[in-house]
Amino acid sequence: MKILNSISQLQDQISFCPLCQKKNRRVSIQSNSVETKIVHCREKDNKIAMRVHADRESKSKAIAYDLDIHSIDFDFIYSNKPDACAPNLDFLLLGNCLEGHANAAGIFSLNTGNKKVENIFYNKETLRILDTYRISALYYNDMLLVSSLNDSKVRSFPLMDLDFTRPDKIVTKIKTLLLFS
């Protein structure tokens, strides 16, 4: 699992496509809970302003947060009862390559008790290699999932370093792994 220290570090990981070798992923934030819905989210001046509706115990609460992307601090801008919020609100940071090569996901939690961003993890990355294979690096359990784009069968391997500047070498390595699995 890739543990990070700030939302900006997570954004850097999520926005970079290893196949394109540049930051060209569109990044978005989603709630990781059915009880919480993001109504508005905007990043400006190294802060993320986010308005959230949280349904808890059959009561709807409107909450606004101001997150500093370089630290682990955040502030309530307003709330019509912050104590009615869940103690931790989980969010996904998602990145999709603009050229369609890869997508990635990370997670972070807002601890409403101490007003800290916690549990900042880079979870998963899925890539299309030379329109031949799909690989998913699952950092949360150190696994690499491999499947052919022509076959739905998925095989798992221990997570390993791959040289994304050489997709042809990745295909060779995958073929070898599949041959001996």
User: Does residue 131 share a domain with residue 97?
Assistant: no
**97: alpha, beta or left? (left if phi > 0; alpha if psi -120 to 50):** beta
User: Does residue 109 share a domain with residue 87?
Assistant: yes
The whole-angstrom separation of Cα 160 and Cα 105 is 18
Closest CA to 89 of 126, 64, 58: 64
The pLDDT of residue 57:
66
User: Which one of 78, 98, 123 terminates a domain?
Assistant: 123
- Which range marks the domain in which residue 172 is found? 127-179
Q: Are 38 and 30 in contact (CB under 8 A)?
A: yes
The pLDDT of residue 133:
94
Tokens describing residue 156: 């798992």
The pLDDT of residue 99:
93
The three-point CA angle 48-51-56 to 5° equals: 130
The pLDDT of residue 56:
67
The pLDDT of residue 58:
62
User: Does residue 155 share a domain with residue 136?
Assistant: yes
Tokens describing residue 153: 């069968």
The pLDDT of residue 88:
80
User: Does residue 146 share a domain with residue 89?
Assistant: no
Handedness of CA 47, 66, 120, 126 (dihedral sign): negative
pLDDT in tens, the chain (181 residues): 788 999 999 999 999 999 999 999 999 999 988 878 888 899 999 999 888 887 766 667 778 888 999 998 888 776 665 555 567 889 999 999 999 989 999 999 988 888 899 999 999 999 999 989 999 999 999 999 999 998 889 999 999 999 999 999 999 999 999 888 8
The pLDDT of residue 61:
76
> How many domains does the chain fold into?
2
User: Does residue 132 share a domain with residue 115?
Assistant: no
The pLDDT of residue 89:
85
The pLDDT of residue 55:
76
The pLDDT of residue 78:
64
The pLDDT of residue 54:
77
The whole-angstrom separation of Cα 58 and Cα 60 is 7
User: Does residue 113 share a domain with residue 144?
Assistant: no
User: Does residue 103 share a domain with residue 67?
Assistant: yes
User: Does residue 119 share a domain with residue 65?
Assistant: yes
User: Does residue 15 share a domain with residue 100?
Assistant: yes
